[in-house]
């Protein structure tokens, strides 16, 4: 479904990614783990079109999307739940969701479906999004991304700044999306949770991928040494 091939990228004089290659098959979930500054968000920024790759490419359903404008990438079926949620504070909950559908991609997701999957949001629909709790905001951010009917959904640090109970709610929503066959890439600091909510994992370090494999039965010692670079 989505392939990242030998990606090199950075900001100005700073190089961040040095040959990242990943592949996610349809209906699968990839967990991208790695310490702070490893380049996870930068990888997402290349996928969404905000950072242009220096070499390498990204294909979605066989067509190259790297180098396209962010708007075009959304309409080709890639959506992201950004780090820190980034809801629009001057829009209501429902307006935030509707903004997600701005590019009018056809598909199963509409307001009704989002409310049925996240029933907690329906009573809040007229509220300003800034008045919600962190967990509720995260659900809105996920719903907003789903409204564009993506083929692939990227989630950056869903649990950041949330209470443990809220994290559970958010990840049960992710489990539900997986059960429905959505293709996902999730970035998560909590390694156990990341492995439990994914089919495959990739561990990122200094802009490369020293270790990857199936999440079930992954060797935690091996992951730790790849994560902290104790090789």
Ligand X SMILES: Nc1ncnc2c1ncn2[C@@H]1O[C@H](COP(=O)(O)OP(=O)(O)OP(=O)(O)O)[C@@H](O)[C@H]1O
The answer to whether 100 contacts ligand X (rule: CB under 6 A) is no
> What is the rounded CA–CA span in Å between residue 179 and residue 28?
10
Distances (CA, A) of 81 to 100, 205, 215: 11, 22, 22
Residues 6+ apart with CB under 8 A from 207: 15, 16, 17, 18, 19, 20, 38, 39, 42
* Between 36 and 116, CB nearer to ligand X: 36
Residues that bind Mg ion (CB under 5 A): 41
* Between 69 and 216, CB nearer to another protein: 69
Task: Enumerate residues 33-92 that contact ligand X by CB under 6 A.
Answer: 34, 36-42
* Between 97 and 211, CB nearer to ligand X: 211
The option from ligand X, another protein, Mg ion, none interacting with 39 (CB < 5 to 8 A, set by class) reads ligand X
Residues that bind another protein (CB under 8 A): 48, 50, 69-71, 74-75, 80, 82, 86, 88-91, 95, 98-100, 102-103, 144, 148
* Between 41 and 215, CB nearer to Mg ion: 41
The option from another protein, Mg ion, ligand X, none interacting with 120 (CB < 5 to 8 A, set by class) reads none
Query: For residues 112-145, b (16+ Cβ closer than 10 Å) or e, as one string?
Result: eebbebbeebeebeeebbeebebbbbbbbbbbbb
Distances (CA, A) of 193 to 77, 152, 159, 164: 26, 20, 10, 12
The option from another protein, Mg ion, ligand X, none interacting with 202 (CB < 5 to 8 A, set by class) reads none
Number of residues that bind ligand X (CB under 6 A): 11
* Between 32 and 74, CB nearer to another protein: 74
DSSP state string for 170-215: HHHHHHHHHHTT-EEEEE-S-HHHHHHT-SEEEEEETTEEEEEEES
* Between 82 and 107, CB nearer to another protein: 82
What's the closest the beta carbon of residue 62 comes to ligand X, in angstroms? 27
The option from another protein, Mg ion, ligand X, none interacting with 74 (CB < 5 to 8 A, set by class) reads another protein
Distances (CA, A) of 137 to 101, 133, 143, 155, 200: 17, 6, 10, 14, 27
What's the closest the beta carbon of residue 180 comes to another protein, in angstroms? 22
The answer to whether 13 contacts ligand X (rule: CB under 6 A) is no
Backbone angles phi, psi at 15, to 5 degrees: -95, 135
The footprint of ligand X (CB under 6 A) covers: 11, 14, 16, 34, 36-42
């Amino acid at each position: 479904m989505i392939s990242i091939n030998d990606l090199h990228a950075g900001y100005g004089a700073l190089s961040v990614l040095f040959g990242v290659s990943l592949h996610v098959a349809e209906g699968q979930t990839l967990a991208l783990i790695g310490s702070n500054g490893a380049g996870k968000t930068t990888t997402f920024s290349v996928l969404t079109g905000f950072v242009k790759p220096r070499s390498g490419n990204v294909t979605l359903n066989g067509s190259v999307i790297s180098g396209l404008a962010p708007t075009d990438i959304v309409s080709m079926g890639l959506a992201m739940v950004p780090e820190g949620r980034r809801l629009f504070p001057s829009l209501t909950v429902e307006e935030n969701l509707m903004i997600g559908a701005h590019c009018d991609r056809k598909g199963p997701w509409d307001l009704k479906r989002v409310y049925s999957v996240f029933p907690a949001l329906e009573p809040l629909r007229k509220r300003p999004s800034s008045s919600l709790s962190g967990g509720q905001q995260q659900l809105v951010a996920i719903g907003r991304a789903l409204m564009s009917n993506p083929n692939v959904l990227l989630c950056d640090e869903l649990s950041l700044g949330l209470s443990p109970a809220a994290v559970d709610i958010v990840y049960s929503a992710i489990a539900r999306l997986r059960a429905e066959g959505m293709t996902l890439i999730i970035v998560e600091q909590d390694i156990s949770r990341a492995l439990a909510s994914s089919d495959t994992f990739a561990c990122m370090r200094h802009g490369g991928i020293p270790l990857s494999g199936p999440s079930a039965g992954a060797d935690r010692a091996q992951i730790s040494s790849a994560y902290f670079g104790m090789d």
